[in-house]
Structure formats: structure tokens, C-alpha cells
Structure 1
């Protein structure tokens, strides 16, 4: 691959935020629920509506989320997780039952405007070693058959959100693009099936991952304000990697006789923390640049016209896997509590992003390293390790928002992260002889020590965080933190 279209899969729940850009384009955003203290579904639906969002894309079909979307007028893409593909591929009855429960019932009873079913999520990632290779297409066929039987074949379309690594090019020119050799015939089958059923090809494109994965990737090629060495592909000029990546797919489809297949950009965005290139300034520059770039139906050199795209993501998720990188928990346009991270103009009449309303917080108190404690205490290293393996410390590390903290600040951040995720329980700030609760905000500059929001889980409700994915701190971050304690 020489086109710098390296991408990575993210097995996370997503919601598509759609805002009118100019008169023809619509952009969405991903809403995930892998959070220790998630905003309630009604709060998120109101956030979407307050910001003019008209479409949502989900990775699953959580009845609480779909119930909150009832009567909202928001268009919905429901998702089928990869771990459900096997059963759906084996049984048409299973597919019919899934459609009846997760599509038909909500359309008829809850007035949920379901438009798409996403069958799996990036199932052909090369890193998955072919796990879902033989079952994704049969599952897609069975869901399509089930929709037709339910009388929804014309209203609800199937699709598969795919990573951009399903296609590649032999040069930097998009015109040399084709599907990945090991899945070439399968991708042609799937694409033809989608075309035959009037369904779209959905692809996730991440210029940030190109930059993260390749130290030689040119920074200005990731954005939309001009690349110093634009690529000339037989008269078509490419000054940003998004257009080049997108048109590599267009060429792959065209070469295989499916050139008119519609394309949806399932995920596109920029994280704000967890890596030296993940920050608020770059995220605002990329997302605003992208919105401006696709406005006015300009499209790409190979596909002029409206671009149907969904920003990744709506709100930060502190319980996502960090296997791809520490940035993985910081993709949101909004913070974990629904406050905007930066200004984003969504159209000529936009007044900027509007925060989530009626969000309640835990008490204004933090857990920090006691002033009487020594960083040389032998309990420091295991305490920090425990805190960060059970909470979120991804804002610590080289180039992150908290990179300038000293050793004491790093330790305090770790303690507070664990304390907040455990709902400020007194027992969660009892690191042996090291920690103390304070009402003085320890935040420094861009490094914010969180106070978690109040959730129904804390006050006895049913919408807890059970079932959300948790991953321990990665090794590099742990080594970094422990080294600070030895300074």
C-alpha cells in the first residue's frame, strides 16, 4: 500500500450525528456507549436534536437507545455486532427473529425511523485473521431476506461498515486501486449484492490513523488546507488523503463493474488526546476542514456531488479498548459529560455546538497524592498500576494533555481516575498511606482531573455500565508512569 490509506478497525458502538451543511450535504457523528458513566439515552437524543442532528448510526440495537429515539424523527442505522454473525449466517430463522425484534417492532410500535442495518463492523480487518471471512456475506444475505419477508426490503437497507484496508493501491495514485487480493472475490460478491438490493457500500476512513501508523506520512496531507506535493493522477489532483482514499475505493468498484454503487463514510474524525498528534487544535482543524470540504456538493475528483459521512464520534468513551492506541477513548466532539470540546460550525446558521442539558455531577472533590506522602514509597508503583489498570489514564504520556505533569501530578491523576470511576466511594481513595480527598481542583492547564457525572446506576436505576468493555492500561503507558515515580 503506497497511498497512505492505512486504517484501523474500532469495534465500538457508534451513533451517527447528522447536521445540514449548506443545502445538500449532511454529516453524521458516531455515538458510542462504552463508558463507565454514560449519558442517559434521552439526554443524548436531546443533545442530538439540540444540535440539529437528524441521523444516528448504532453498532447494536439496544432497546433503551431505540426507545429514546422513538418519535424523535432521527434516522437510524442499527448494528449487528460481529459476535452475532455466526448464528445469523447459519439460520434464516435467526435472522428473521433478529429483524422482528430489533427492526420491525421498533418501526411499528415505537415509531423509530430505521433506515439501515449494519451487518457486523469491520469484519475483514487484516488483524482479525479471517475470523469472520466465511460468515459475514451469508449473514448479510439472511438479514436481507428477513427484511424482505417482513415487508421492509424497500424501506430498510443492509450494509457492512468496512475498514479502508479492504482495498489498496500499488502506487500513490488512486487509479491503481483494487480490492485486497485475499478478499477480492468476496468483496466483488458483496458489492454486487449491495448494488442489486439498492444498498450502500459503507467504509471508515481515518487520516489520523495514517499519520499515527506511518512516521513518514506528511502531516499537511491529512488535512484540507493544501498539501505541498499534491498527487496528479492522470489530471485528477489530490491534495488530501481523504479524497485519495475514497477514490481508491471508487476505482476498485469501477474496475469490478460496480462503479455506480453508492458510498457512505461510516466513520471519519480526529481524536483529541492520547497521542502527540491527537489534540483539540488538530481535531477542530480536521473536522471543520472536512465539513467545509464536503459542503456545496463538491465531492471528490472521481465522485463529485454530496458526501454522506458520519463523524467519529459524538461523545468520549472511557471504557473502550485501547489496543489500537491510547487515543481510542478520545474521539468525541463532546466530552464524556456532553460539553463541547471545541467550536464546530455546522452551517451558515450555526451558533456552535450546544452542550447536553440537565447533566448532574458527583461532588466537587478529588482523590490525590497526600502532601505527606513520598514518591519513593514502595507502595506507589503498585498503587498507580492498580489504579490505571482499573480506570482511565490515557491522558498521561508523551504528547498528551497531561504530559507536563510532574511525578506527583501523575500519581494524583491515576488515583483520581480510579476514585471517580468508582463513584467517589471513600474506599476508592484509600491507597495505603498515600492518598487524600481534597476539594481543591488539582487540574493544571489543559490537564483536567475529572469529576464523573451522576448516572442512574448510582441512584439505583437500571441503566448501569454493566457490559461495557474494559481494557487494562497498556504496557507503554504503565512503564511511563512507573518511571516517573522513580524520578
Structure 2
């Protein structure tokens, strides 16, 4: 069922609740009223925890809603029997095939929805048709496929007797609409006909409009954007729009969408926030403090049920934080911060105190780490010829924290080399040969982390990898310990 809280429970009267219920019935059909905070679970990672560990992490933190970007079988298997409400995704590059073939749509539904919606299976609530397919940078390459793909998929869900339980949505980037003031919001002219068709289909099937809103990107991409307007702590740059005053970019953006929907005849369309968050590394302004302030302010704002000036006391149906975990293999084309959106680090450890309405975040349990050892630059070696080794290591591993604005940007030249060496070494599951670098690397048991710069230890999904392997004989361990001690005493 759709989840939304319309009014603060303490202030509801029977008649106001009845009036709102009647309005909802007339506009959208009967829905359950209960708000929810969910998370995006992306899997473009260099170090992947077991899906069962991730699902346990979600349940520990009482996160009941999860949004995926595909329907990866391993992830879906981990979600079996969990009871979590799931949104599965269809990648943009599949839209063309699904738009032109009903059999392709039937097959996708059979393989990615029907097979999991069994007793004790996965509670699939939504199917996301593409991900931000109208994004300006795509230059329209997916636009014509969206509505035909939706039409075919709706028919396929109906054939599988799932149309009542599974709703189609289309996550849109906020660049699909524009205006100088929220009340003047309109969809981009070239998109208006397509989005009108899309919204009509969504509305007729009881689906919400899903939008991704990123105040961080507004701040990152515009030096004139007021920093305090990106947060929820109050601002000296409030935006006045007729009788309405906006104190944060989130509300302003959301009401711009609401105004745009009203202009095409769907002003009461329910809205879900598909992605919203703040990165913790990889750029100026992307840090733990800012991420904590933004995400906690967002959660408090949504759960307060204040709504926005155009929809007072009607918050978004659901809000999916971006994201659950860091993804060290994501493209950095938008910026190095792309790999650092997680409220948890790649190994399920909370980055900062955050209360999603159920107490502070709890760390993942029973994470299978590789042995606690690191690869660093050998302090007794001449590092003059190290450049190519560092470049090679960082072409495979994630070194984005070393760049300007990153948490490891100020650890010095030798620290940079060691960080690159270790990142590659952990990615290679601590294979001894991966710390050679023509004799310039060495393995240590002394944690080389410096201040906020964390030198990671990899994780393993396999029990056989936890603990020492054959090459970890006590002789080699003793030699490493003696070498560490000798270096420490020098």
C-alpha cells in the first residue's frame, strides 16, 4: 500500500481526517496513510558485502523501504522473506527493447518480478522504468521509449495478475522542470507532451510521480547558490513567492514540481522523492558534518509532516535517501563525490550519527573482513619511479579521497603513494604480489590511517577468505611483525 501521513496525528479531528480521506479517494483512490523513509541500495562497488548482511543492516535500522537500480538476482535472493518494500529498476539501455516488444516486456516481468513475488518471496511494490531518462545530458536519447515501454510493461503485469500490487514509476531528475519561482514551475517545453502522457498513465494506474532532488548539486554547480539555503537550519536568503516564503531549496524545488504538475492538469499527483542526500567526500562541501546536518534536517522536516507552502501538512509519500552504501566503482564524470553518498561506508559502518526516526544508525553485524593488514610505500626505497605504479593502482582502485577537497588530500606525497598501493592491494584481496610494485611496496600490520583519512581493509563474502590463507603462515606473519617493529624503532 502507498505510505503517507497527511496530518500530524495529535492535531487530527475526525472530520478533517474524513475530509482528506474523501479527497484522496476522489483523486487517487483509497490509500493507506503512513509516511516512510527508505534508502537507495546501489551495488556499483569494489568491495561488496553479502546481500544477506546488507538486508540484516536494513532490518537492524528498521528501514522498511529499499530502492534498487536493477533486479540483480543475488540482491533479490537476499531480500527473499525480508518483508521489506522494494522498488526494482530497469536500466535506461533496456528501454528501447521493452518499448518495441511485448514479448520482451513479458520476459522481463517473468524473470524480475513474477519469479520473486511468491509466498516468502520479495515484496515488490514498484518497478522503476528507467532512471532519470529525461536527463538533459542524455540529449533526448531515451525520451521516446518511456511511454511505450510503460504501456508494454503495464500489459505484462496485467497478464501476470500483478497490476494491482506492483506499480510502475519513472524516476525523474529535477532538471525535467524549471522556473525562477516555485509557483511558475513548468516542465521543459520539449518534455511537456511526453511527461503529460506519462503522468496520465501513472495517474490512471494509481502510481506516484518520482523525482530526485539534490540541493548539493545546486550548491556544487553554482558558486552563487546560497549555502545555507541548501540546508534546513534556516537561511538569510529566503525566497519570497507571492504569499509563500521558502527557507530551503528542497521545499522550493518540490513546489516547482507541484506547480508544473498543476499546469498539465495533475496538481494533486502524489509525489515520492526517489533520491536525495549529501556526499561525505570527494569535493569541497562534501564532508561528514555537512552530510549529517543535511540528512538529519531532511528527515526531521519530512517526519514533521509540515509539507510545503503549496501542499501544507502533506509531505511526500516516501523519501528514499541516497544512498545506503558508498559505491567505489561509480563513474566520477559528475565529480569525485559520486562514490561517497552512503550514510554507511562500503562495509556497513555508519559514517556519522543519524536518526531516521528509530534511533541512531547501527553498524552492520558479522562483516567478513580480510585480515587486518595494509600495503604501504617501503620507507627504505627510493620512490622516484613510483608515478606509473600509483597511476596503475588508481586506475583499478578508488583514489578519489586523495583529490582536492577529499579527506586524504593533505597526507603528503608518501601518504598518497601508500593510500594508492593499499587501495589496490585490498581490491586484489590482499594477494601478496599486488603489494610488490617493483619492490616499492611492503605489507604492514600497523594501521597507516591518518586523521580523517582512513586506509581501508577489504571485505569478503566468502567464509574461506576470512582468516589467514596458505600464504599466511606463522613464519610470514612473524616476519611482518618484526619488520614493523624495526621500522617503528628506527
Considering the TM-score relative to the shorter chain, is it more than 0.5? Answer: yes
Q: State the partner residue of 1:384.
A: 390
Runs of 4+ in structure 1 deviating by more than 3 angstroms, as ranges, are 457-460
Contact 1:25 1:296 in 2 (8 A): no
Counterpart CA distance in 2 for 1:450 and 1:46 is: 22
Encode CA deviations 1:68-89: one digit per residue, 9 max, x unaligned: 2122111111111111111110
- The 5-angstrom pairing of residues 356-395 of structure 1 reads 356-375=364-383, 377=384, 379-395=385-401
Contact 1:37 1:455 in 2 (8 A): no
Q: State the partner residue of 1:425.
A: 431
Aligned-partner SS, 1:310: strand
Query: Is 1:119 the equivalent of 2:125?
Result: no
Encode CA deviations 1:108-147: one digit per residue, 9 max, x unaligned: 2543111111011011111111111111211111111111
Q: State the partner residue of 1:26.
A: 36
Could you state the TM-score of these two structures normalised by the residue count of structure 1? 0.87
Cα distance, 1:155 vs. partner? 1.1
Q: State the partner residue of 1:244.
A: 252
Q: State the partner residue of 2:223.
A: 215
Q: State the partner residue of 2:458.
A: 452
Q: State the partner residue of 1:92.
A: 102
Aligned-partner SS, 1:77: strand
Counterpart CA distance in 2 for 1:50 and 1:105 is: 27
Counterpart CA distance in 1 for 2:432 and 2:464 is: 14
Counterpart CA distance in 1 for 2:464 and 2:254 is: 44
Q: Between Structure 1 and Structure 2, how many residues are aligned?
A: 435
Q: State the partner residue of 1:288.
A: 296
- The 5-angstrom pairing of residues 264-343 of structure 1 reads 264-304=272-312, 305-307=314-316, 308-343=318-353
Cα distance, 1:218 vs. partner? 0.8
Cα distance, 1:201 vs. partner? 0.8
Cα distance, 1:455 vs. partner? 2.3
Q: State the partner residue of 1:465.
A: none
* Worse-matched range after superposition: 123-132 or 104-113: 104-113
Aligned-partner SS, 1:193: helix
Q: Which has a greater percent of helix?
A: 2
**Correspondence for 1:177 among 176, 185, 188:** 185
Aligned-partner SS, 1:395: helix
**Correspondence for 1:128 among 101, 125, 138:** 138
The unaligned stretches of length 5 or more in structure 2 are 10-33, 467-490
Counterpart CA distance in 2 for 1:199 and 1:142 is: 16
Counterpart CA distance in 2 for 1:145 and 1:457 is: 44
Query: Is 1:81 the equivalent of 2:87?
Result: no
* Worse-matched range after superposition: 245-254 or 306-315: 306-315
Cα distance, 1:32 vs. partner? 0.9
Q: State the partner residue of 1:105.
A: 115
The unaligned stretches of length 5 or more in structure 1 are 1-17, 461-487
Aligned-partner SS, 2:376: strand
Contact 1:417 1:450 in 2 (8 A): yes
Counterpart CA distance in 1 for 2:414 and 2:121 is: 53
Cα distance, 1:411 vs. partner? 0.9
Counterpart CA distance in 2 for 1:270 and 1:101 is: 34
Counterpart CA distance in 2 for 1:429 and 1:77 is: 41
Counterpart CA distance in 2 for 1:458 and 1:160 is: 41
Counterpart CA distance in 2 for 1:371 and 1:403 is: 20
Q: State the partner residue of 1:480.
A: none
Counterpart CA distance in 1 for 2:231 and 2:79 is: 34
Counterpart CA distance in 1 for 2:458 and 2:67 is: 26
Contact 1:121 1:161 in 2 (8 A): yes
Counterpart CA distance in 2 for 1:346 and 1:249 is: 25
Contact 1:67 1:110 in 2 (8 A): no
RMSD of equivalent CA atoms: 1.7
